[in-house]
Structure formats: structure tokens, C-alpha cells
């Protein structure tokens, strides 16, 4: 029994393997797994590249076009960073930080996209200026039903924008300090110790991230009925799926590692093995989301614009006909 305990302790002290060790200890099963996951990540990059080319061709240069490119790139970036961490396990912390920063920016971009679908800030405010805005939404205030509704104004919109922007600004700062502390030996990823830097940086990051989701939920509650033609509901669901898979899945695996449900298996310690499993799952999940994003973000923008123009023209023709008939009636009465 002592021998097994000593072997387990020595296994836990193992550093993540290098890329050379991964290649040297390959077996047919692992080689097939690596090949399939790498192909899925590369295929996702190709699908995203084709989608970017389509958006560049169909949408004129605008903030909306930039926003679409950012948002649709979230699952691709996560899959690519996960594939990098799969082949080079010692880079897992840096690849996870890169994916986290990118997705935090995408949260802000998604809020901006909903505003741009209305035609920009001015159109959004004029459209909803007389509509009460419900702020008792998740994840912060879903249980606070007593909160009053607010009127939309320029100041309110700026506050909502800052709510998502603060996380996009603060999270890179927190992760920068994490890298600095890691280089000094004070930060160990996945070690939930109240005296460790990982615990407190994770707490601060989660708080800012949850706050950024509140304005997103407030605007989506108003936009889901007005923007259903733009498929805003499935787009929001895909965005939340990426959020859950990136945040909750990693947290669940960390708990399994802490309870020794995921055991170490040389050359991987239990913590490195948990990260390894997370990267495998993320590549497969993000590949599915990439394909679904292509379906919902790829639309015939020109035809939609023509439909809008035609509706405006028809309404203009109706107004002109009514004015002409009034003039004719007036001239008849005068005669």
C-alpha cells in the first residue's frame, strides 16, 4: 500500500510532458485520436476562413462586419488553442488564457452586434426610447423581481456597454498578473488553495465576467422579439453554449481532479490529464458550434436589403397615391 501511495505521489509531481515526449510515447489509439482532433481543428479553421470571405464580400465596410468576424471566430480560436495545448501540454496555461481573453471580447462584441442590427446607437435609442427596460435578468438579478424598469437613454446605453467592456479590459490585466506570478512560482493553475494566487485571481475574473453577462441579458430580453428575423435567439444560444463549455466544463473537470476521480497516468499528472481531457472535448464541441454558426450567421444580406428597400418604396408609393387622390378630390370640389 505504501508503494502505491509513493507511486501516486511521484506521479502527481510530474510536470506536463513536452511535445517530444508525446510523440515518443504514441500508440495507435492515441495517434488516431490526435489525428482526428487535429483534422477537426483544421477543418474548423477552413470553415471560418470561408465564412470571413463571404462576410467581406456581402457586407460593406462597417462596424457590423467587424463584429460578425469577431463573434464567429470565437469557437475557431478556442478549437485552435485547444489543439495547440493538446500537442504542447506545457503551453496549456497560455493557450487557455488566449481563448479566455478572446471570448471575453466576443461578449462585448455580441452586445454591440445587437445594437448594430437596429442600425446603430441612435436608431436603437429612438426605437426603444418609450419601451421600459427590464433589468431583473440573469445572471446577477434574475431573482430580484422588485427591481424597477428603466427608460432607455444614451446614458443607460453607455452604462450597458461599459458593463461588458469592463470585463474585456480587466480580464487581460488579471491574466497578465497570473503569468507574472507563475514565472515567480506563486501561481499554479488549477490549485484551489485559499492562500494561493490562482484562487483569488479566479474569483476576481469570475466576478467581472458575471457582471459582463448582465447587460448582455438585458439587451437580449429586448431584442429577441424585434430581431427574430436576424435569428438572434439561436445566435445567443450558440454564444451561451460556448460560454458554458469553456467555463463550466473546465470547472467540473477541476473538481474531478481535486477529488481524484481523474487519476494520474504517466506521463500526465491528474491535473495535466484533466486539462488534456478538457482540450479534447473542446475541439469536438467547438467543431459542431462552428458548423452551426455558419448556418445562422450566413445569410443573403443583399436580398434582405432589397426587401427593406422595396417595403420602403411601397410605403412611399402609398403615401404619394393618397396625396394625389386628395389633390384630385380637392380640384373636383373646387370646380
Question: Could you tell me if residue 327 is inside a domain?
Answer: no
Q: Are 15 and 90 in contact (CB under 8 A)?
A: yes
The owner of cell 488534456 is: 276
- Nearest Cα to 220, choosing from 162, 171, 166, 160? 160
Residue with the larger pLDDT of the pair 135 and 300: 135
Q: Which of 86-95, 119-128, 141-150 has the highest mean pLDDT?
A: 86-95
Q: Looking at the 3D structure of the chain, how many domains does it have?
A: 1
pLDDT beyond 80 at 326: no
Q: What is the gyration radius of the CA atoms in the chain, in angstroms?
A: 26
Per-chain mean pLDDT for the chain? 79
Structural domain contains residue 320: no
Task: Tell me the pairing of strands 132-133 and 150-151.
Answer: antiparallel
Which residue range(s) make up the domain with 90? 2-300
What is the pLDDT, as a whole number, of residue 276?
87
Whether residue 306 is predicted with pLDDT greater than 80 in this model: the reply is no
Higher pLDDT: 137 or 52? It is 52
Higher-confidence position of 188 and 161: 161
Place of cell 462596424: 63
The pLDDT score that the predictor gives to residue 317 is: 42
Q: Identify whether 283 is part of a domain.
A: yes
Range list of H helices, 184-269: 197-226, 232-258
In a domain, 318, yes or no: no
List the one residue out of 37, 39, 38, 45 whose CA is nearest residue 294: 45
In a domain, 331, yes or no: no
pLDDT at residue 310 greater than cutoff 50: no
Kindly indicate the confidence band of residue 144, based on its pLDDT and cuts at 50, 70 and 90: low
The answer, yes or no, to whether residue 136 has pLDDT greater than 90, is no
Question: Which residues make Cβ contacts (< 8 Å) with residue 275, sequence separation at least 6?
Answer: 16, 85, 89, 92, 96, 189, 190, 253
What sign has the CA pseudo-torsion 289, 291, 292, 297? positive
Residues whose CB falls within 8 Å of the CB of residue 295, separated by 6 or more in sequence, listed in order: none
- Report the CATH number at residue 47: 1.20.1070
pLDDT tier at 50, thresholds 50, 70, 90: very high
Residue 320 has pLDDT above 50, yes or no: no
Banded pLDDT at 143 (limits 50, 70, 90): low
Answer with the residue of higher pLDDT: 67 or 135: 67
What is the rounded distance in angstroms from the CA atom of residue 240 to the CA atom of residue 18?
33
The verdict on residue 172 lying in a domain is yes
Neighbours of 118 (CB within 10 A): 19
Q: State the pLDDT confidence band at 299, using cuts at 50, 70 and 90.
A: low
Q: Does residue 173 form part of some domain?
A: yes
**Continuous segment of H or E residues that includes residue 138:** none
Residue 154 domain flag: yes
Instruction: Report the C-alpha dihedral over residues 39, 44, 47, 51, rounded to 10 degrees.
Output: -160
Percentage, residues of the chain above pLDDT 70: 81
pTM: 0.81
Per-residue pLDDT tens over the stretch 85-119: 989 888 888 998 899 899 999 999 999 888 888 88
Residue 312 pLDDT grade (very low, low, confident, very high; cuts 50, 70, 90): very low
Amino acid at each position: 500500500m505504501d508503494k502505491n501511495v509513493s507511486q501516486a505521489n511521484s506521479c502527481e509531481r510530474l510536470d506536463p510532458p513536452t511535445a517530444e515526449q508525446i510523440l515518443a510515447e504514441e500508440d495507435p489509439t492515441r495517434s488516431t485520436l490526435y489525428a482526428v482532433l487535429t483534422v477537426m481543428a483544421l477543418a474548423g479553421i477552413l470553415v471560418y476562413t470561408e465564412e470571413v470571405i463571404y462576410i467581406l464580400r456581402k457586407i460593406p465596410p462597417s462596424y457590423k462586419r467587424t463584429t460578425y468576424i469577431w463573434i464567429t471566430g470565437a469557437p475557431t480560436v478556442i478549437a485552435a488553442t485547444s489543439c495547440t495545448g493538446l500537442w504542447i501540454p506545457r503551453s496549456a496555461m497560455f493557450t487557455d488564457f488566449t481563448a479566455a481573453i478572446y471570448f471575453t471580447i466576443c461578449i462585448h462584441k455580441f452586445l454591440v452586434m445587437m445594437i448594430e442590427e437596429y442600425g446603430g446607437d441612435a436608431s436603437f435609442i429612438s426605437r426603444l426610447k418609450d419601451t421600459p427596460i427590464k433589468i431583473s435578468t440573469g445572471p446577477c438579478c434574475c431573482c430580484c423581481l422588485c427591481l424597477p424598469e428603466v427608460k432607455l437613454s444614451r446614458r443607460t446605453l453607455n452604462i450597458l456597454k461599459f458593463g461588458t467592456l469592463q470585463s474585456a479590459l480587466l480580464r487581460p490585466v488579471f491574466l497578465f498578473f497570473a503569468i507574472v506570478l507563475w514565472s515567480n512560482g506563486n501561481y499554479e493553475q488549477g490549485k484551489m488553495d485559499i492562500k494561493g494566487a490562482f484562487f483569488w485571481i479566479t474569483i476576481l475574473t469570475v466576478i467581472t465576467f458575471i457582471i459582463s453577462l448582465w447587460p448582455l441579458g438585458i439587451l437580449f430580453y429586448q431584442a429577441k422579439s424585434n430581431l427574430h428575423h436576424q435569428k438572434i435567439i439561436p445566435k445567443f444560444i450558440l454564444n451561451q453554449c460556448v460560454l458554458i463549455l469553456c467555463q463550466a466544463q473546465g470547472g467540473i473537470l477541476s473538481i474531478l481532479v481535486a477529488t481524484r476521480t481523474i487519476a494520474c497516468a504517466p506521463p500526465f499528472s491528474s491535473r495535466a490529464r484533466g486539462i488534456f481531457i478538457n482540450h479534447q472535448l473542446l475541439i469536438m464541441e467547438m467543431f459542431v458550434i462552428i458548423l452551426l454558426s455558419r448556418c445562422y450567421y450566413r445569410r443573403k444580406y443583399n436580398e434582405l436589403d432589397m426587401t427593406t428597400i422595396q417595403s420602403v418604396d411601397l410605403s412611399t408609393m402609398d403615401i404619394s397615391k393618397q396625396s394625389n387622390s386628395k389633390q384630385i378630390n380637392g380640384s373636383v370640389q373646387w370646380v
